[in-house]
Chain A
């Protein structure tokens, strides 16, 4: 039997890796992928709790998260493409027109 806490630790670790990648990486696409990693970590947490408390709503929520992640990925990648067209680079440090 696997204690719940193991799942949660794994979920937390995945989330932490996602945040790390979000902060460290310079390539926009890689940053995006880190976000997806974060979402996955959270999904695992949801499912684990659903199984723990025998509430199926957790899995339904995971379903919704995935749907939203899909939508977000689509739009986000479209934005990346648009940015690439204008800036000719995928380096996030060069997208700094908002600088004061």
Chain B
């Protein structure tokens, strides 16, 4: 037995940081808050690294018991941690990227009055996310699941005095809740049929079950319900609507939570439950279909957006769709691979976007940017690397993972050329809109307002300005994380060469995860051909974006005008939010007002209480006549009453 890794330190340290900053931060100096925030998350990252270094000497899967929780009859769920290759990957990603974003936030949020609160919330988020990843049973995972939702709400609505931010926070939490409903039902089903929520026990019980044929069955139900939860947390159709609104939060939040970590919790959960999904082909199909559709759908919306963060938000939704597509065709390790590389380049994209926004003094509309290449060279460099990565151009990270997904989508047992085709088209669109973003922001002429000394254009940024006359580069504390992430975006994909990543995760996903090169050389050739097609498609997107936004910038407007109606629909995100409002929100509010408030609360509850009081008053009005002051009537009552009593007693005696 290996000695204890003391895994519990990894989640608890950020929690301690959150507590200290939360309670004491208001009165502390900026330096103190920074130190606490960075130290605790830094140590967590360091510990995770040390665990990784000791990884080969540990028995896997490694479980660590922390405390008793629920013991009820045959069912038990404890606070316990679980470590295997999958958790390790997630752990390193979360702590690493998280720590980098902490460093970045020091620079970004320096002038914000809520500085201490931000770090407290950020650390709190880390705690919950780590709990989610390291849990050894679904219930503790659910604690983390809900907790990251809470942290997300707090951070999205960080500038809560702004109506739109507060509403966005609420929207995120509520839409998440809808997904959680499905998740909970799935948990109930698991408890009922497998008697436990422990991963090892569930896996052991599910393993012998043969794959369900047809579309019915318990595992299919569980799978679909779990997917519902994932749709909420990871912003897939139909519950993706909260993610674009979540851009109201500060940019580091968008980077950490809505790009790198929280939204990937759904993917992690699906990967964790792969034994269930593998035995429920229908559920897998549902996952793949949802993922693919979402990827395509969100990409099309991204084309028309003008807010730099919104483009990135839809891009996130789209890339998450890729991950789910991977899981849906059984290629779980490919999905996790893309999760990792996506954390690098999407995190970088958001941080760089934050740097850009900081540079132009709070403006987020890309049409007011342009030509920033010369003003913010480092930001441009890192963002360029990230864009190349996301577009899938080798040898950057995104190419390896996205290509793996597309290949698996075609060749896996559960895959189909349809998925591949839609995936390829989406890749083209992705490349197009990402380069569109790059070109609009960094090339051409600067359209922005001159940033005057008192920072008029602060829009949603809420960020004090430095009073410079023109866009300026970010401080070094913000640039260093950018550079580290850029480095990772370059080399991060190389772990996938030769299926090394897959082999690393093989003990988790078993041999059923990936159809090991079935049919050796023939499929090899096909694989290379597909690789070539995806590269070509990515370059095509780049060229198209270049044409439209650099060489012939008058073209986009003409195209938009000619497509008119369709373009407006895309611009307005296909009116999905309005549709939801009309279908769900309005009837709910209406029903609540008429039925619940006026009907139940006023009529039934209030009236009952009032009528009870009135009734008591009326009864007492009648009864008070008994007290007439007339002695003889008193005597009469006494006599009558005693006669009754005597009669009753005689009757009882006679019986």
In-complex A–B contact (CB below 8 Å) = yes
Interface residues of A (CB under 8 A from B): 19, 22-23, 26, 31, 92-93, 95-100
Apart from the given pairs A19-B639, A97-B629, 11 other A-B contacts in the complex at a CB distance below 8 Å: A23-B632, A23-B639, A31-B635, A93-B631, A96-B630, A98-B627, A98-B629, A99-B628, A99-B629, A100-B624, A100-B629
> Once the chains bind, are B632 and A93 in contact (CB under 8 Å)?
yes
Q: Is the interface of B mostly helix, strand, loop or mixed?
A: helix
Tell me which residues across on chain B come within 8 A of A93, comparing CB atoms: 630-632
Q: How many residues of B contact A (CB 8 A)?
A: 10
> Once the chains bind, are A92 and B629 in contact (CB under 8 Å)?
no
The docked-state distance in angstroms from the alpha carbon of A23 to that of B643 is: 13
Is the C-beta of B636 less than 8 angstroms from some C-beta in chain A? yes
Partner of B632, one of A19, A92, A99, A100: A92
> Once the chains bind, are A96 and B631 in contact (CB under 8 Å)?
yes
> Once the chains bind, are A23 and B635 in contact (CB under 8 Å)?
yes
Interface residues of B (CB under 8 A from A): 624, 627-632, 635-636, 639
Tell me which residues across on chain A come within 8 A of B627, comparing CB atoms: 98-100
The docked-state distance in angstroms from the alpha carbon of A26 to that of B635 is: 12
Partner of A96, one of B624, B628, B635: B628
Smallest CB–CB gap between A49 and chain B, Å?
14
The docked-state distance in angstroms from the alpha carbon of A30 to that of B521 is: 127
The 3 A-B residue pairs with the shortest CB-CB distance, nearest first, are A99-B629, A96-B629, A98-B629
Tell me which residues across on chain B come within 8 A of A19, comparing CB atoms: 639
Partner of A22, one of B624, B630, B635: B635
Tell me which residues across on chain B come within 8 A of A96, comparing CB atoms: 628-631
> Once the chains bind, are B639 and A22 in contact (CB under 8 Å)?
yes
The docked-state distance in angstroms from the alpha carbon of A97 to that of B627 is: 11
> Once the chains bind, are B635 and A100 in contact (CB under 8 Å)?
no
The docked-state distance in angstroms from the alpha carbon of A96 to that of B632 is: 10
Smallest CB–CB gap between A91 and chain B, Å?
10
The docked-state distance in angstroms from the alpha carbon of A22 to that of B637 is: 12
> Once the chains bind, are A92 and B631 in contact (CB under 8 Å)?
yes
Between A and B, how many residue pairs show CB distances below 8 Å? 30
The docked-state distance in angstroms from the alpha carbon of A70 to that of B629 is: 28
Q: Across the interface, name the chain A residue whose C-beta is closest to B630.
A: A96
> Once the chains bind, are A99 and B630 in contact (CB under 8 Å)?
yes
The docked-state distance in angstroms from the alpha carbon of A92 to that of B632 is: 7
Tell me which residues across on chain A come within 8 A of B629, comparing CB atoms: 96-100
Smallest CB–CB gap between B68 and chain A, Å?
66
Q: Across the interface, name the chain A residue whose C-beta is closest to B626.
A: A100
Contacts A22-B639, A23-B636, A23-B639 given; indicate if A100 touches B628 (C-beta within 8 A): yes
Q: Across the interface, name the chain A residue whose C-beta is closest to B631.
A: A92
The docked-state distance in angstroms from the alpha carbon of A93 to that of B634 is: 11
Smallest CB–CB gap between B414 and chain A, Å?
87
The docked-state distance in angstroms from the alpha carbon of A31 to that of B632 is: 10
Q: Across the interface, name the chain A residue whose C-beta is closest to B628.
A: A99
Tell me which residues across on chain B come within 8 A of A99, comparing CB atoms: 627-630
| Subset of 9 A-B contacts with CB under 8 Å | A22-B635, A22-B639, A26-B632, A92-B632, A95-B631, A96-B628, A96-B630, A97-B629, A100-B629
Looking at B630, B632, B636, B639, the one whose CB has the most chain A CB atoms below 10 A away is B632
Tell me which residues across on chain A come within 8 A of B632, comparing CB atoms: 23, 26, 92-93
Tell me which residues across on chain B come within 8 A of A92, comparing CB atoms: 631-632
Smallest CB–CB gap between A83 and chain B, Å?
11
Smallest CB–CB gap between A98 and chain B, Å?
4
The docked-state distance in angstroms from the alpha carbon of A35 to that of B68 is: 75
The docked-state distance in angstroms from the alpha carbon of A98 to that of B624 is: 12
The docked-state distance in angstroms from the alpha carbon of A54 to that of B92 is: 99
Tell me which residues across on chain B come within 8 A of A23, comparing CB atoms: 632, 635-636, 639
Q: Across the interface, name the chain A residue whose C-beta is closest to B634.
A: A98
Tell me which residues across on chain A come within 8 A of B636, comparing CB atoms: 23
The docked-state distance in angstroms from the alpha carbon of A31 to that of B639 is: 13
Q: Across the interface, name the chain A residue whose C-beta is closest to B627.
A: A100
The docked-state distance in angstroms from the alpha carbon of A92 to that of B630 is: 8
Tell me which residues across on chain B come within 8 A of A98, comparing CB atoms: 627, 629
Smallest CB–CB gap between A23 and chain B, Å?
6
Tell me which residues across on chain A come within 8 A of B624, comparing CB atoms: 100
The docked-state distance in angstroms from the alpha carbon of A99 to that of B634 is: 12
The docked-state distance in angstroms from the alpha carbon of A96 to that of B629 is: 4
Q: Across the interface, name the chain B residue whose C-beta is closest to A28.
A: B631
Tell me which residues across on chain A come within 8 A of B628, comparing CB atoms: 96, 99-100
Smallest CB–CB gap between A33 and chain B, Å?
14
The docked-state distance in angstroms from the alpha carbon of A95 to that of B627 is: 13
Smallest CB–CB gap between B457 and chain A, Å?
79
Tell me which residues across on chain B come within 8 A of A97, comparing CB atoms: 629
The docked-state distance in angstroms from the alpha carbon of A22 to that of B631 is: 11
Tell me which residues across on chain A come within 8 A of B630, comparing CB atoms: 93, 96, 99
Smallest CB–CB gap between A62 and chain B, Å?
20
The docked-state distance in angstroms from the alpha carbon of A95 to that of B634 is: 12
Smallest CB–CB gap between A40 and chain B, Å?
17
The docked-state distance in angstroms from the alpha carbon of A93 to that of B633 is: 10
Smallest CB–CB gap between A69 and chain B, Å?
18
Smallest CB–CB gap between A45 and chain B, Å?
13
Q: Across the interface, name the chain B residue whose C-beta is closest to A26.
A: B632
Smallest CB–CB gap between B641 and chain A, Å?
12
Smallest CB–CB gap between A29 and chain B, Å?
13
Smallest CB–CB gap between A36 and chain B, Å?
15
Smallest CB–CB gap between B645 and chain A, Å?
13
The docked-state distance in angstroms from the alpha carbon of A65 to that of B632 is: 25
Tell me which residues across on chain B come within 8 A of A26, comparing CB atoms: 632
The docked-state distance in angstroms from the alpha carbon of A73 to that of B629 is: 23
Smallest CB–CB gap between A47 and chain B, Å?
20
Smallest CB–CB gap between B634 and chain A, Å?
9
Tell me which residues across on chain A come within 8 A of B639, comparing CB atoms: 19, 22-23
Smallest CB–CB gap between A59 and chain B, Å?
23
Tell me which residues across on chain B come within 8 A of A95, comparing CB atoms: 631
Smallest CB–CB gap between A34 and chain B, Å?
10
The docked-state distance in angstroms from the alpha carbon of A60 to that of B627 is: 39
Smallest CB–CB gap between B623 and chain A, Å?
11
The docked-state distance in angstroms from the alpha carbon of A98 to that of B629 is: 4
Smallest CB–CB gap between B600 and chain A, Å?
40
Smallest CB–CB gap between A77 and chain B, Å?
16
Smallest CB–CB gap between B534 and chain A, Å?
96
Tell me which residues across on chain A come within 8 A of B635, comparing CB atoms: 22-23, 31
Smallest CB–CB gap between B170 and chain A, Å?
58
The docked-state distance in angstroms from the alpha carbon of A100 to that of B624 is: 8
The docked-state distance in angstroms from the alpha carbon of A39 to that of B632 is: 19
